[in-house]
Amino acid sequence: MFEFVETVRVHAPPADAWKVLVDVRRWWLASNPDHSSLMIRSTGEPIGVGTQILFVERVAGIRGRAEGAITQWIEGRAVTWQGVAVYRHLGFTITIEQGVTWALASSNGYAELSAQVWALFPRDLIGRLGEWYFKHVLNGVERDREHARRELEYLKAKLERGAA
């Protein structure tokens, strides 16, 4: 398992940051060149707990397809997506449980936006080898941190340009 948190301070009101953050259709694909598709299945608008989100992206250079749902929604404060992702690399397929909590805090009238990312590898031999390879050969945790930072910096720039 690995877990990390990345945070940026945004010179924008927290309410504006929340509006941009939860409008994932408008920012997620554009925020990172490693993102290649996004599908949101919601029973209504706006999105919320139970909304299914499917996407394809590259993490540490490996293409994966993730499928999951929003499992937590605290209006104006935090949203959590959890799911499973299937990655194929060097002839191996591995399914990983993963998630991210996007959180928003107020700091002197500004917003602090964070992404808490986690991944749980299978405990069988292939899963343990895959985790070791990801961490030590691909430098995957640091590369995933960079991935999250890129998304946060994109959101920060969008908000500071007044795109709320």
What per-residue confidence (pLDDT) applies to 164? 52
pLDDT attached to residue 48: 92
Q: Over range 76-98, report the average pLDDT.
A: 95
Per-residue confidence (pLDDT) for residue 95, from 0 to 100:
96
Distance CA 130, CA 110 (A): 40
The string of pLDDT tens digits covering residues 91-140 is 989 999 999 999 999 988 789 999 999 999 999 999 999 999 999 999 99
Does 15 have pLDDT greater than 80? yes
CB 62 within 8 A of CB 143: no
Name residue 94's amino acid: I
Q: Which residues pair with 21 in a beta bridge?
A: none
Structural domains in the chain? 2-160 (3.30.530.20)
| Contact yes or no for 81/70 (Cβ under 8 A) | yes
Residue listed under structure tokens 């910096």: 153
Would you give the DSSP letter of residue 61? Answer: T
**Whether the Cβ atoms of residue 159 and residue 151 lie closer than 8 Å to each other:** no
How does pLDDT run across 47-70, given as a tens digit for each residue? 899 999 999 999 999 999 999 999
Kindly indicate the confidence band of residue 149, based on its pLDDT and cuts at 50, 70 and 90.
very high
- What's the distance, CA 58 to chain centroid? 12
Query: How confident is the model at residue 107, as a pLDDT?
Result: 85
Provide the pLDDT for residue 108. 85
Distance CA 78, CA 100 (A): 10
